[in-house]
Amino acid sequence: DGVHILKKIGLFVKMDKEASKKAEILKKWLGKKNINVVIKHCDPPSKRYKGHHFESAPDDLDCVFALGGDGTFLSAVRWIGRQPIPIHGIKFGQVGFLAETSEDGLFQMAEAVLAGLYKIILRMRLEVSVFKNESKIMTESVLNDLVINKGALARLAQIDTWIDDKYLTTYRADGLIMATPTGSTAYSLAAGGPVVHPAVPGIIMTPICPFTLTNRPLIIPDSACVRIRLSGKSSDIMLTFDGQSGLDIDENHTIIVKQSTLPVQMITLPDIDYFDILKAKLRWSGGRV
């Protein structure tokens, strides 16, 4: 199996002087190796869902390097959309779970990728469909999580939940997070959810500050289909996709969540270990970060 020759690479860059400067240097460096480069700057997350008006990545990209933190990586995944384009993240600043390479390892990483010394790991996404009354108003995929969250002034959200059409419970809580294993170390973890290794198949349901203390985080099979509705009159409640954009919802909306048929293709290098990243990020003993 010969090395796949890369001809065109997308650089998805955080709005940041340091990252932009690095992107220009990387573009020149890749240009000398006869590689076409497309640079796209990350738009700030819009708190309101605007539909798919943002442009998608060109379909002839061989891969995308996301320069920024985990938020930039999630935006880059949205930019790639439904296309099977592999992605690798380079972090500027904090240790990231998604952005694996540190800024100073950038060119070493690029050399390795050009030489074909990498693996592609598939990371599950969730597909979220939202219906208002009976008609579908949107479908969105998320790599980390879908969050139902009440506003500051709203009372507890009451969230009716069914799994494979079987009623599970009505969460009375500040909200509910539905996360992938990749997203288990993001907001879900802060809300008391478990750390789930990305190779373990499942969907994590983590209530946010549940009124009933017996409502624990739950891991369900990745084959399950979850249906969610707000019960009673509900206002000031928002659905957020990967923390990137939001949609106001009320008791007229139904949300269906299931595994997406389109996983994210993550480029990973041989010397990167999930548990090393985990230990560093969570500051477990033995590692001083």
pLDDT band at 1 (very low <50, low <70, confident <90, very high): very low
User: In which element (H, E) is residue 255 found?
Assistant: strand 253-259
Tell me the residue type at 254.
T
Query: From CA 241, how far away is CA 21, in angstroms rounded?
Result: 30
The burial of 271, by beta-carbon neighbours within 10 Å (0-12 exposed, 13-18 middle, 19 or more buried), is given as exposed
The closest alpha carbon to 125, from 190, 60, 80, belongs to 80
pLDDT tens per residue across span 140-193:
999 999 999 998 877 889 999 999 999 999 999 999 999 999 999 999 999 999
pLDDT tens per residue across span 206-219:
999 999 888 899 99
Task: Report pTM.
Answer: 0.91
pLDDT tens per residue across span 219-267:
999 999 999 999 977 788 999 999 988 899 999 999 999 999 999 999 9
- Is residue 70 among the annotated active site residues? yes
Determine contact, residues 206/217, Cβ cutoff 8 Å. Answer: yes
Phi first, then psi: what are they for 246, rounded to 5°? -130, 165
Active-site residue (options: 70, 145, 174, 242): 70
Task: Indicate if the alpha-carbon torsion angle 178, 184, 187, 192 is positive or negative.
Answer: positive
Query: From CA 206, how far away is CA 149, in angstroms rounded?
Result: 12
Residue found by looking up tokens 């997406």 in the block: 260
The closest alpha carbon to 230, from 153, 147, 164, 171, belongs to 171
